[in-house]
């Protein structure tokens, strides 16, 4: 079974190699969707769940949002494209959420990156 939880954050960046307007400082209202997959837990506090949504929220808030929200992403990575940001997020969340199978990062309402477990760039 698969479950998904969505989050949002605000951040600014400059794309230093971009030939157009994205080479100037600008910001986005990002949306992040995290997908976990696995069996229903048979017992304990998450009985009947793949994972408790509160556990997912705590992991995302602590390892991702605390670092990215209201930040200049160039302070964290040299070329913060949507693809690089998605990889940065994956590499942190995969350690906290071993059932992670997919993340989707929307940079705008019409532009997004999808990263899945098994993609060559993921550690999973």
CATH code, 59: 3.30.479.10
Checking if the pLDDT of 4 tops 90, the result is: yes
The single residue of 10, 18, 26, 70 carrying the catalytic annotation is 70
Residue 101 domain-assigned?
A: yes
pLDDT value of position 124: 46
Give residue for tokens 């698969």: 2
In a domain, 50, yes or no: yes
Whether 22 is covered by a domain: the verdict is yes
9 part of a folded domain:
yes
Our answer to whether residue 22 is catalytic in this structure is: yes
Number of domains in the chain: 1
Q: Which domain holds residue 26?
A: 2-116
Residue 74 lies in a domain: yes
State yes or no: is 28 an active-site residue: no
Q: The pTM is what?
A: 0.94
107 catalytically annotated: yes
- For all residues of the chain together, what is the average pLDDT? 96
Q: Are 83 and 113 in contact (CB under 8 A)?
A: yes
Going across the sheet that includes 26-37, the strands are 71-72, 2-13, 26-37, 100-106, 112-116
| Beta bridge pairs of residue 4 | 35
Q: Which tokens belong to 82?
A: 């949507």
Query: Is 123 among the domain residues?
Result: no
pLDDT tens digits for 47-94? 999 999 999 999 999 999 999 999 999 999 999 999 999 999 999 999
State the catalytic residue, choosing from 22, 33, 37, 83. 22
Q: What is the mean pLDDT of residues 7-26?
A: 95
80: in domain: yes
pLDDT of residue 122: 87
> Per the domain annotation, does 124 fall within a domain?
no
Structure tokens at 102: 């997919």
């Amino acid at each position: 079974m698969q479950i998904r939880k969505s989050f949002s954050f605000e951040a600014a960046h400059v794309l230093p190699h971009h030939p157009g307007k994205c080479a100037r400082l600008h910001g986005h209202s990002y949306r992040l969707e995290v997908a976990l997959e696995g069996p229903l837990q048979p017992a304990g506090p998450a009985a009947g769940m793949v994972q408790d949504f509160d556990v997912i929220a705590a992991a995302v808030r602590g390892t991702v949002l605390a670092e990215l929200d209201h930040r200049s992403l160039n302070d964290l990575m040299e070329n913060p494209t949507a693809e690089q940001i998605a990889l940065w997020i994956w590499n942190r969340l995969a350690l906290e959420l071993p059932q992670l199978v997919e993340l989707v990062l929307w940079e705008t309402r019409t532009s997004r990156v999808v990263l899945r477990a098994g993609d060559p760039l993921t550690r999973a």
